Chains A and B, each alone.
Chain A
């Protein structure tokens, strides 16, 4: 039962990342592309967790945490740059 659910989840999350990539490439404005990247890293955390369940190891938990932190910091840095013209004032 978990195997079938895992394959369906892989398919859905991969489709979600493809839709994010579409918005990242097409997106008419710059905040659209930023929010596409933001959603993409959150979806990649989900993909890493699914891979962890598939392999039944605990090796990649720290990777998920690292991606969460670095993605948040990069989003905030780009937003600060667009708002103020500078990151650290």
Chain B
């Protein structure tokens, strides 16, 4: 039995090599790391400009963050960008005057900043976020996002493209008459992809977080990466078995990317509030990955039960669909 499994592993490994799977993964690793190290960590949000209209000249402007304007019209023109914050002192009491950016959270931050400037409690840029400085926070955040994207997209495509190759070569039919334990055919692919994804996770985390931080978060991150990798690979396998050709698969992949993954990114990364997003399974995987990178791993038993239940269910479905495909192709 172990000989059979080793034979399958060797064949799948060579299939992955010939399809340049590892080269693509390496390319992604280099691309993500370059972006993180040369672009993202240097990105900083421009501070909200604050404009003050004080017709009675009651406030002597000392803060470097405040620009005084001469008229209400000038104030309105200055804050028209929906980013700046306006302060009006015409009625004696200060009034914050701002046009909504459309995001409730951002507007709230703008308001707080305006008040802080007015009260003179701004002591420079925000440097400490929890226990992380800005750079570490940025590194953790973007690494989690890239890893989630890589595992969702490439994990889904990786195993599916292997199976499509085998379908195209017709060798699936041959496996129908081999004295082989059919679940092993799926299991060997899964194992290879899992090892490859975990290795990718270790490298991406080490390169972009540094060895010290990486060692701290890796156990939890590897667990989340393993869960996501298995779920996406099995989902990709199922779709590849059910769909007749790669064109239909690509279309399905597009639909999946647009309607399944995009809402998760929007809800997780922007101020958009969708109450229904908690029912989206990918959202929980995404937040679990982020939490793992911020050293706050998910501890919900229900979450893990759901994940492992999904993996088992998907594996059983994949085996059944594979058997049906063999009978159809045979």
Is this pair of chains taken from one and the same complex?
no
Residues of B within 8 A of A (CB): none
